[in-house]
Every structure is written in structure tokens, then in C-alpha cells.
Amino acid sequence: MRADYFVIFSSGITLLMWGLWGFFGKLAIERNMSPVSIFLAEVLICLICAAFVFLFFSRTENFLPWRTPWNIFGFLSGVSLALGLVFYYFALQRGHASLVVPLTSLYPAVTVVLSYAILAERPSLTQWIGLILILIGAFFLLSGPIEGRQDNYR
């Protein structure tokens, strides 16, 4: 199954936005903003965005999470996101963005393995090879020293 152009475009925008998110998060920490403050600012912005989404899409079927019997998965998704964000900023506070951001970007490997094990999705051989290459890349990220500025963020 091939992705259509909208899927590719949307994924590209997501890639760009999440790349900027990691970069701006590190800049905020370097300017002495605490991880908790950054998290709270993001939650506030997400609530504002949620209000706009509600205004534009509230007439859509099953829009409201309590109208579906599977709302627990939406809740668990939110909890996973929130906890991940908090620990992401703790990692950025003590580590280099050039290491933390790529390592935390390995999360699709978790999704692929869980989707394979639980949802019976079957990635192609090429996709498995891609996943293995991503993990090899993570090994190389962790194996060498990081050159450049060495800061203590405490």
C-alpha cells in the first residue's frame, strides 16, 4: 500500500514542526526555563489549539471522546504523551539536543513492534530493514563522545 500525496505532505509538515519543537525546547532550557514551565506552556497552547479544533470539527461523528466505547485509548495516548514530554525536557535539561532529540525520535520502533505483536500488522521486509537501520543509527549516536559546548544545566 502506497501513501498518497496528502499523507506524505502531512507527514512532512509533522516532521518539520516536531523538529522545530525539539530545537525550540532546547533553546527555552538554555535560557533557564524549567522543564515543568515548558510543559505547562505547551499544555496551554494545546488547550487553545483544542478549542479551535472543537470549533471547526465538532459536528464530526465521534468527535467527542466520550461518545465512543474506546475512549480509554485516547486517555492512555494523552497520558503517554504528557509523561513522555516531561521526561523529554528532563533529558534536554541535562543532555545535548543533538543526542536527546534523535534518541527520543526512535519512538516509532516501539510503535512498530507493538503494532506487530498486538495488532497483527505485518511490515514488509524493506520496512523491517529500515527499522534495523534506525536502531543501528541509535547505537552510533550513543557510542561516541559529543563534541562542542559542554554545559551544566543545574
**pLDDT tens-place string over residues 60-98:** 656 666 666 667 787 888 889 899 999 999 998 988 888
Q: How far apart are CA 147 and CA 104, in angstroms?
A: 20
Task: Please name the residues in contact with 134: beta carbons below 8 A apart, sequence gap of 6 or more.
Answer: 106, 108, 109
Segments in 31-124 forming alpha helices (H):
35-57, 71-94, 97-104, 107-118
Task: Please name the residues in contact with 141: beta carbons below 8 A apart, sequence gap of 6 or more.
Answer: 99, 102, 103
Residue closest to 108 by CA, chosen among 90, 76, 132, 91: 132
Confidence of residue 153 (pLDDT cuts 50, 70, 90): very low
**Mean of per-residue pLDDT scores for the chain:** 83
Taking a C-beta distance cutoff of 8 angstroms, is the pair 115, 121 a contact? yes
pTM for the full predicted model? 0.72
